Structure 1
Amino acid sequence: MQRRQLLKAGLGLAALAATPLARASSGRVLIVGGGWGGLAAARQLRQLVPALEVVMVERNAEFRSLPLSNRWLVGLAGNEPLVYDYAAAASRHGYRFLQAEVIAIERERRQVVTRTETLDYDWLVLAAGIREDFTSWFGADAAAASHTRQHFGSAFTGGDELLRLKARLQNFTGGDLVMTIPPMPYRCPPAPYERAVMLAWWLKEKRIKGRLLVLDPNQPALAFDRVFRDSYSEQISYFPQARINTLDPYQKRLTTDFETIDFADAILAPPQQAADIAWQAGLVAPGKDGKTSGWAAQDPVHLHIPGDERVFLVGDMVDKASPLFGFYPKTGQIAARQGAIAAQEIAARAAGLAPGQSLPSSSCYVVRRVSPLEISRIDTDFRFRADGLIQQTVKQTHFAQAEDEDRRWATAMFGELGL
């Protein structure tokens, strides 16, 4: 059963031979963002349409996985399975990697502008991920937001923030460690609760005289609340429906509706939104009440943006997919599945064919207890209802005597992404 589930979790991509990188007459696909969605789109396009030039633009030189990063933060995983070189992956699979920061998209000209050059595209896959919105805490105070990101970053955006967070944890000697959870929706919903479990285990294992204060603005996570109370009652205080009213990152003090907390250190995750580039490109539209959702609108089946079938959005940055359930879960595998679907859409259009209809799926593994190891798998599938709306089904499986199912799933996915 576990082998079949791992195969289901993969993208089903075959190994690809490298192809020349010269501009092809069939056109160019630019992929902005080298996360799970961007990597899946790049590899799938090389398989489906070898005549297309595929260029992935990413500001970081290395891919650093967020899945398994909670293990890594507390010393339960090394660097080897989590960090991969983008240029090496591109060379193996025959697409071009450009390390650059994208600062603008000019859709009328079909151009992407980086800090060093302007690139033309025939199709664009935007897989830029998220940004963190500090305005609910600081308003227009950019200095306070920057200080918080630098000294108390959540590491939800990956990259160097993960390195800084691990360094802070290694230097933590005790006291109150505050961790906030963003309001829904946010990237990888179970991840903060898994991190809390890992940190509580770490405090206990290292005999650090500290306490983790988990401030959650959402409804109580009952399954994790039980674990917190049963296994880590001396290490965790969990506060559901706790909204931050004020935050002073310089004095290390915050207030909620109920109390004032002075902290020794903190992992502060504000609300999340679509990445900056989505706002620059005008992809985040206002809602019916004039207030924006903060997420980029797309056709939930074909994944292109409204009014432009040459620009596709994949991954965590997208808005609601269906009035029946709202957002696709913002998980790595959803992003990877959407990247593959976008590649199929582009391949069909490049051949002059009408694209088909495909829906993503997701398997998400989360550690619920470290010792003894307990893991849950959350499977989310989608289908079309008779009226054409997308319907969601969710199934949860608990492994009370786990055997590193999360590691095996992640390793399989990294292989499928060509890393």
Structure 2
Amino acid sequence: MAFTRRRLLSAALAACAAPLFAQQAPGLLPASKGRRVVVVGGGWGGLAAARHLRALAPELEVVLLERNPSFFSLPLSNQWLAGLVDGKLLAHDCRAAALTFGYTFLQAEVTAIDRERRRVHTATGTLDYDWLVLAVGIRHDWAAWFGDDRRTIDEARTRFACAWTPGGELVALKARLDNFRRGDLVMTVPSPPFRCQLAPYERALVIAHLFKTRAVPARLTLLDPNPPPQRFAEVFEAHYRDQIAVLPHARIRSVDPFAKTIATEFDDIRFDDALLMPPQQAGELAWQAGLIGHDKDGKPGGWAAQDPLRLHAAGDTRVFLVGDLIGPASPLFGHYPKSGHLAARLGRIAAREIAARARGSLPDATLPESSCFVMSALAPPESLRVDTRYRLRGDGLIVQATKQHADPNPRGEDADWAKGMFRELFG
């Protein structure tokens, strides 16, 4: 049959419309001789899952995919910004952890997940899995402010990053603060849930303290839709009245990163520099993989939907979700704290689930716990510890109990906690 121009055009259009997953790509590793668990994301949750999988199920091949070669802890990073903690405590080599515990680490940018074929796509090849642990953290919902205006999103993200994800943004923020000589700095806080809910106030405290101790003629304006925690409000008022202004219940109506202005329901704020933190959502891959839950109106809820006890994705027992990307855990309190400690505990629970399923059984249900440390004052120092514990109620719902402890004489308990967690993750 003659290959007419129309047939040629039809074939070309069909090729363009073919899904990405149908394209051939090289395998990152040889086919597994046994069964393979792929962990995507080398943060607290992913590292914990990989480490505990090797201990609980040595017969499984475990591969951790992470785009960065090293880990940098967000917990205690505010103290690093203030020069109170050595960066060597917070930075760790992912490859060294893999060698210590016996799993495979591949530095790779994951671009897509094909759940039907149980295949992970990266920029350099593919990797098939028997089970997948997705620990990709959060993304910033810039569209809530700017819609699909890519030019404005890029301006806000590159010039006024909030540095709420690990990597170069945090290093750049330290340089920005060190070089800020005078003027108005604005910091926005989103409505919950968001990562490390006390950390924005600790960061505001650090910035105000830097301005005061360095005699920088500058002022930080904190735009917060929430009422600030009482202890921070007291410290701001008592010690940093000239360095910080807190505008509670300030809901942002619009942001113009080019004109350097923010409009709230009450006022327009001009700034010289800013830490712009839009609303947060589950990381990009959770959206691409179709794992986002929906609200009562059928709209995407912004967070991945998981079985609250078993942690597998809703409707997919081959995919486990750990860390900050997960959705509400209980109608009694909503979300788990989006903290490093809790992410690590979820990673351990997911490892137990997969190890048991690989042997044809289910483990007893286990619930996580979380401890969070922040500095609530710097001169004199004062720390605040928040411990959160969980239990199952008789009707099967998860119940949360939270305790706060203020310590007016901290003696490095936060650093000791971090060292213990890092030993668990890195050996």
**TM-score when scaled to structure 1?**
0.93
User: Is residue 183 of structure 2 the alignment partner of residue 175 of structure 1?
Assistant: yes
Give 1:133's aligned residue.
Answer: 141
Deviations 1:215-244 (A, max 9, x none): 111233222111110111111100111111
Equivalent residue, structure 2, for 1:144: 152
Q: Which residue of 1 aligns with 2:338?
A: 330
- Give, as a single letter, the amino acid of the residue that structure 1 aligns with 2:61: E
CA-CA distance at 1:290 after TM superposition: 2.4
Out of 297-306 and 80-89, give the one that drifted further. 80-89
CA contact (8 A) 1:314 1:335 kept: yes
2:251 paired with 1:243:
yes
C-alpha distance in structure 2 between counterparts of 1:320 and 1:65, whole Å: 24
* Counterpart for residue 66 of structure 1: 74
Letter of the structure 2 residue corresponding to residue 356 of structure 1: D
User: Is the Cα–Cα contact under 8 Å of residues 24 and 51 in structure 1 kept in the other structure?
Assistant: no
Within-5 A mapping of 1:311-326: 311-326=319-334
The equivalent residue for 2:220 is 212
2:96–2:426 CA contact under 8 A, matched in 1 = no
Q: Report what 2:413 is aligned to.
A: 405
Amino acid in structure 2 at the alignment position of 1:396: Q
2:389 is matched with which residue? 381
Whichever of the two has the greater Rg, that structure is 2
Structure 1: distance between partners of 2:256 and 2:233: 28
Task: Trace 1:389-400 onto structure 2 (pairs within 5 A).
Answer: 389-400=397-408
SS of aligned partner of 1:344: helix
Residue equivalent to 1:42: 50
Q: How far did 1:355 drift?
A: 2.3
Q: Which of 101, 106, 119 is residue 127 of structure 2 equivalent to? A: 119
CA deviation after TM superposition for structure 1 residue 404, in Å: 2.1
Matches within 5 A, 1:158-237: 158-237=166-245
Task: Say yes or no: does 1:262 pair with 2:277.
Answer: no
**Corresponding position of 1:156:** 164
Q: How many residues align?
A: 399
| TM-aligned CA deviation for residue 22 of structure 1 | 8.3
**How far is 1:136 from its partner?**
1.9
Which residue identity is paired with 1:175? G
Give, in whole Å, the separation in 2 of the partners of 1:141 and 1:194. 32
Q: Take 1:23 and 1:333, find their aligned partners in 2: how far apart are those partners?
A: 34
2: CA distance between counterparts of 1:23 and 1:379?
Answer: 43
> Structure 1, unaligned stretches of length 5 or more?
1-20
Which residue identity lines up with residue 118 of structure 1 in the other structure? T
Which of the numbers 342, 348, 357 marks the counterpart of 1:349? Answer: 357
Write the letter of the residue equivalent to 2:163.
A
Letter in 2 for 1:28: R
Q: Which residue of 2 is the match for residue 9 of structure 1?
A: none
Q: Secondary structure at the match of 1:379?
A: strand
Q: What secondary structure is seen at the aligned counterpart in 2 of 1:167?
A: helix
Separation (CA, whole Å) in 2 of partners of 1:416 and 1:22: 29
Q: Which whole-Å deviations, capped at 9, do the CAs of 1:163-194 have from their partners, x for residues lacking one?
A: 11111111100111101112100001010011
User: Which of 90, 103, 107 is the equivalent residue of 1:95?
Assistant: 103
Which position in structure 2 is the counterpart of 1:51? 59
Separation in 2, partners of 1:405, 1:203: 26
Spell out the pairing of 1:23-38 with structure 2 (5 A cutoff): 25-38=33-46
Alpha-carbon RMSD across the aligned residues, in angstroms, is: 1.3
**CA distance, structure 2, for counterparts of residue 147 and residue 404 of structure 1:** 39
- What's the % identity of the aligned pairs? 56
Where does structure 2 lack aligned partners over 5 or more consecutive residues?
A: 1-28
Q: What is the CA–CA distance in structure 1 between the aligned matches of 2:122 and 2:30, rounded to whole Å?
A: 20
- Mapped contact 1:180–1:267 kept (Cα < 8 A): yes
SS in structure 2 at match of 1:285: strand
Q: Provide the rounded CA distance (Å) in 1 between the counterparts of 2:316 and 2:157.
A: 35
Residue 302 of structure 1 corresponds to: 310
Distance (whole Å) between structure 2 residues aligned to residue 25 and residue 372 of structure 1: 59
Q: TM-score, normalised by structure 2?
A: 0.91
SS of match in other structure, 2:236: helix
* 1:279 counterpart residue number: 287
Report the Cα distance in structure 2 between the residues aligned to 1:143 and 1:66, rounded to whole angstroms.
28
Which residue in 2 is equivalent to 1:13? none
Give distance in 1, aligned partners of 2:145 and 2:271.
17
Counterpart residue identity of residue 99, structure 1: Q
Secondary structure class of the residue paired with 1:376 = strand
Q: Tell whether the 8 Å contact from 2:384 to 2:407 is kept in structure 1 after alignment.
A: yes
1:251: how far off?
A: 1.6
Q: What whole-Å deviation, never above 9, does each CA across 1:95-151 have from its counterpart, x for those lacking one?
A: 111111111110110000001101000010000000000112111111111111111
For residues 62 and 33 of structure 2, the distance between their equivalents in structure 1, rounded to whole angstroms, comes to: 12
Check whether the contact 1:182–1:271 (CA below 8 A) recurs between aligned residues: yes
* Cα distance between partner residues in 2 of 1:311 and 1:297: 11
Q: Distance in 2 between matches of 1:364 and 1:220?
A: 17
Distance 1:220 1:58 in 2: 35
